[in-house]
Amino acid sequence: MEALVIIDMQKGFFKNILRKRNNLQAENNILRILENFRKENKEIIHIQHLSTDERGILFSNEDRKFLKGFEPLSDEIVFQKHVNSAFIGTNLENYLRDKSIDKLIIVGMTLPHCVSTTVRMASNLGFKVILIEDATITFEIADYFSDKLLSADEIHKYHISALNEEFCEILSAKNFLNL
């Protein structure tokens, strides 16, 4: 059985200044996939990051709220986490195993942080993972070795390439939805 895992679609990422991003169509792609799962009555799991750092972009109650359109329905479960992996400090793994869910469709943000960490851990725990690459969001990051910024697209390509085939199958939203 499969489940859609939507990671950290929260207001704090858009309210706070995080530099340029990629995949400007990501929200629409996630909503299309979410709509498809709801229409087919498939399992939907929301992950919500609750920062414990006062300076964190997901620390205040307002910043922790889900973006408009991404609010969980009453029959959809939410796992709250305090670290990058949706499996650490939550009952996500037990929930999936209890429901005989062995395939995860993962979307959300941000790719180089919580999405990548969750994909890697899910794979290491034995779940089949499909990552929808254009239903993820990456922001520019300062290069550790210089004063330059690494572009969101460069970071995205690196993470997708590193995850592909070793930790997950990579698909576009269009290919996943068979459009």
Report d(CA 20, CA 140) in Å as an integer. Answer: 6
Domains of the chain in start order, with CATH, are 2-177 (3.40.50.850)
* H helix intervals, the chain: 12-15, 26-39, 61-64, 92-98, 116-124, 152-163, 173-177
H or E segment and range at residue 106: strand 103-109
Report d(CA 128, CA 124) in Å as an integer. Answer: 10
* β-strands 141-142, 149-150 pairing: antiparallel
Average pLDDT along the chain, 179 residues, taken 10 residues at a time? 93 72 93 97 93 65 78 95 93 98 96 94 98 94 90 94 96 90
Report d(CA 37, CA 20) in Å as an integer. Answer: 30
* β-strands 103-109, 128-137 pairing: parallel
